[in-house]
Amino acid sequence: MQGEVSVSGAKNAALPSIAATLLTEQEVFLENVPHLGDVCTMLNLLMRMGTQVERPTPHSLSLRAERLTSWEAPYELVKTMRASILVLGPLVARFGRARVSLPGGCSIGSRPIDLHLIGLERMGAQIELKEGYVEAECRRLKGNTILFDISTVTGTENLMMAACLAEGRTVLENAAREPEVSDLAQLLVSMGAHIEGIGSGRIVIEGVKELKGARRRIIPDRIEAGTLMVAAGITKGDVLIRGGIPEHMQILFEKLREAGMTIQIVDQAIRARMDRRPSPVNVRTLPYPGFATDMQAQMMALASVGRGRSMIAETVFENRFMHINELMRMGAKIRVAGSTAFIQGVPRLSGAPVMATDLRASACLVLAGLAADGVTSVSRVYHLDRGYEGMEQKLSALGARIERVSD
Ligand code: EPU
C-alpha cells in the first residue's frame, strides 16, 4: 500500500468528552469528532435525556444539556456500548441522581464496573443495584481519596468528571494515564474545573460549584493511526499518516521497528515503510504508556506473516483472543497458553470468510485480508464501524482492494 492518509479524532476521547457535556447547562462545542457507530450511540443516549445536539459541520458537535428530562441510560443502549457507563459520574455530580443499566459481560471479557461504583460511594453516593440497573443518588458528592487497585480508563474518567462538581478535593491514585484521559481532563479544565496532575497516575481535583461551556478539539486516534501503520507493514508498503501524535505511540513504534518497519516523522506526519517480512516480536499489553490492548489483535495479524516465532501476551482483558480462531482459518499458526499466544509466522495467509467478534478483532481480520492470497470476506463488519471512520475508503485510497458488500 502506498500514499497518504489522515487520522480521524479518537473514539475513546470523543466518548467521555460527549458525556462530560452533561456537567454544564451551557453549550460545549467539540471539533474533530469522528463519525462512528459508538459516537452515534452516545449522542442518542444524551438526546434521550434531553440534551440538544447539533452537528454544524460533519466533524463538529454542539451539545447543550440545559434541562434534562431523564437521568437514565437504558439497557438497550448500554448493551450495545459499554462506554455508556460514562454518563454515571456526570449525572450524579450535577443532578444528584442517575439510573444506568449494568453493562454485563462482553466479547473481550467480563469487564466489571465495581471500581466506578466504589469510587462514587467513597464520594458519598448511595448506590443500589436494582433490576439490572445501578441507581445512584447524592445531594452533593464530597471529595475523597480514591485508590484504584487496577488501572481503569473509563473508571478514572467517570470519577474525574464526578469530582469536578464535588465539594472539596478528590485525589485519584493509580489513575489511568492514557492520552484520552488527559484529553478529557483538558476539556474539563476549559469548562472551569480545577485539575492537577493531568497525565500522571495521581490526579487531584478541587471541586467547583458549576462548570461552564467550552470549545475543544478531540485528539487524533492513536489506535487508528497504529492500525494504518500495521496496514503499511503487512503489505510491505510505504504510507504517510497525517494527524497522528507520535508521542502517544512510542511503544508501538518500538515494537514495529523491532518488526523491521522504518518509521520517520516527516513534515509532522508518520511515514511507515516496510520492505520485507516482519521479524518476530514479543509484546505484552499493559495500561498506558505500555503496549495498548487495543493494538494487540492488529499486531497479531502482522506477526502471523512474520519470519519466526512471536509471542503476544494479553494482560488487560481476560478474553481478548477471539480473533485467533479466525486468523487460523486463514492459515495462521498460533498456539495459545493461558493469556499468551505463540505465533509461528507463515509466508502467506489465504483468504477465507471470517467473522468479526469485536472492534479490534475486525481490524485484525481486515489487515490479515490485505496480506492474504485471494478474497477474504469479513462479516459482522458493524464492529468495525463502531470505531473506525471510513476504514474501507482510507485503505482503498492507499491501494487496497476492499469493498463493502453489505452493512
Ligand atoms: N476493571 C475492573 N473493574 C472496573 C473497571 C475495570 O476490574 O471497575 C478491569 C477490566 O475488566 C479490565 C481492566 O480493568 O480487565 C481495564 O479496563 P478499563 O476499565 O481500563 O477498560 P474500559 O475503560 O472499559 C477503555 C477503552 C477500551 C480499552 C480499555 C483499555 C473506552 C471507551 N474504552 O475501556 O477500548 O480497551 O480502556 O485500554 O475508552 C476499544 O476501543 O476497542 C476498547 C475496547
Pocket test for ligand 1, best of 110, 316, 339, 386 (most atoms within 8 A of CB): 316
**Per-residue model confidence as pLDDT tens for the chain (407 residues):** 999 999 999 999 999 999 999 999 999 999 999 999 999 999 999 999 999 999 999 999 999 999 999 999 999 999 999 999 999 999 999 999 999 999 866 677 778 899 999 999 999 999 999 999 999 999 999 999 999 999 999 999 999 999 999 999 999 999 999 999 999 999 999 999 999 999 999 999 999 999 999 999 999 999 999 999 999 999 999 999 999 999 999 999 999 999 999 999 998 999 999 999 999 999 999 999 999 999 999 999 999 999 999 999 999 998 899 999 999 999 999 999 999 999 999 999 999 999 999 999 999 999 999 999 999 999 999 999 999 999 999 999 999 999 999 75
Of all protein residues, whose CA lies closest to atom 31 belonging to ligand 1? 12
CB-ligand 1 contact for 83 (6 Å cutoff): yes
Give the integer Cα–Cα distance in Å for 48 and 318. 33
Calculate the alpha carbon distances from 332 to 259, 292, 306, 347 in Å: 17, 22, 10, 10
Q: Of the candidates 56, 49, 139, 60, which has an alpha carbon nearest to the alpha carbon of residue 99?
A: 49
* Nearest ligand 1 atom to alpha carbon 223: 41
Handedness of CA 33, 39, 42, 44 (dihedral sign): positive
**Residue 106: active-site member:** yes
CATH 3.65.10.10 spans which residues of the chain? 10-217, 222-397
CA distance 243 to 233: 19
Superfamily name with CATH number, domain 10-217: Enolpyruvate transferase domain (3.65.10.10)
- C-alpha distances (whole Å) from 319 to each of 107, 295, 299, 313, 322 are 7, 15, 16, 11, 7
pTM of the model: 0.97
Is there a contact between 21 and 91 (Cβ–Cβ < 8 Å)? Answer: no
- The class that CATH gives domain 222-397 is alpha beta
Residue 387 alpha carbon, nearest atom of ligand 1: 41
Residue nearest to atom 24 of ligand 1 (CA): 154
Q: How many A from CA of 239 to the centre of ligand 1?
A: 30
Among 18, 102, 134, 152, residue to substitute to test ligand 1 (most atoms within 8 Å of Cβ): 152
**Residue 289 Cβ < 6 Å to ligand 1:** no
Distant-in-sequence contacts of 44-50, Cβ < 8 A, 24+ apart: 44/77, 45/73, 45/77, 45/84, 45/87, 46/18, 46/19, 46/21, 46/22, 46/87, 48/74, 48/77, 49/22, 49/87
How many CA atoms lie less than 13 Å away from 224 in the CB half-sphere? 30
In this structure, which residue's CA is closest to atom 35 in ligand 1? 294
Cα distance between residue 70 and residue 376, in whole Å: 45
Type of residue numbered 149: D
Using DSSP, state whether 372 is helix, strand or coil. strand
**Is the distance from the beta carbon of residue 66 to the nearest atom of ligand 1 less than 6 Å?**
no
CA–CA–CA angle 383, 388, 394 (5° rounding): 125
Which of 17, 116, 154 to mutate for ligand 1's pocket (most ligand atoms within 8 Å of CB)? Answer: 154
Expressed in angstroms and rounded, the spacing between residue 311 Cα and the centre of ligand 1 is: 23
The whole-angstrom separation of Cα 333 and Cα 42 is 39
* Amino acid letter for position 74: P
d(C-alpha 127, C-alpha 58), whole Å: 39
